[in-house]
Amino acid sequence: MHTFPRTLLATALVLAGGLAHADDWFVRVGPAHVEPKSNNGSLAGGALRVDIDSNTQLGLILGYHFTPNIAVELLAATPFSHTVSLNGARAVDFKHLPPTLSLQYYFAPDGQVNPFVGLGVNYTWTYSERETGPVAGASVGLGNSWGLAAQAGLVFKLSDRWDVVAEARWIDIDADVKLDGAKIGTANVDPLVYGLYLGYRF
């Protein structure tokens, strides 16, 4: 499963390969907050209500400008940790990595404030499931998923190379849930991800 994040990174590098000029590349680092939607679905034919809590980790973005207006970026992060509650009772702790590759459009590349939007694809890899409470002693598995991602944000130019970037993105994440190997439903995570980053162009 580790190959998927590497594949997304390789894709981004291939797209940009051979085209690099000064200031075309950018990196951004800062807190990324994942806020799953308020109702994450139900399992076992509606008998179990699913709720997933939020988490904040360190986000890292690597990107490349094909033109001043058009760029591609890869979002990565330190592993997010979440708790799944079933009917209000803590049931499963898990971690996930959500690498996201996006194509972006920047509206005002010469301005002090540069709005942008993006559309891309996300791969969410879940791991380290730990059962407790109502499912203690059972084996719960959360499936990995592919989904669309959309974003909007603002770049605040500090200097010729430094920026502050505020953004929000929506990611389509639907994870199959298995109990002792049998599928019992799908968790609809579909989070909003809020980021505040310090950016550097090179």
Residues spanned by the domain of 134: 3-201
In CATH, what number is assigned to the domain containing residue 196? 2.40.160.20
Residue 47 in contact with residue 183, Cβ under 8 Å?
no
Residue 119 in contact with residue 101, Cβ under 8 Å?
no
Q: Rounded distance, CA 36 to CA 22, Å?
A: 38
pLDDT at 1: 47
pTM of the full structure:
0.85
pLDDT cut 70: percent of the chain above it: 88
pLDDT at 77: 98
φ and ψ at residue 21, rounded to 5 degrees: -135, 170
**Confidence label for 22 from pLDDT (cuts 50, 70 and 90):** low
Count how many domains the chain has.
1
Q: Token pair of 155, please?
A: 């770049």
pLDDT at 111: 97
Helix (H, G, I), strand (E, B) or coil at 15: helix
The residue that leads in pLDDT, 133 or 150, is: 150
Instruction: Average the pLDDT over 32-58 and give the result.
Output: 87
Residue 34 in contact with residue 53, Cβ under 8 Å?
no
* DSSP-assigned letter for residue 1: -
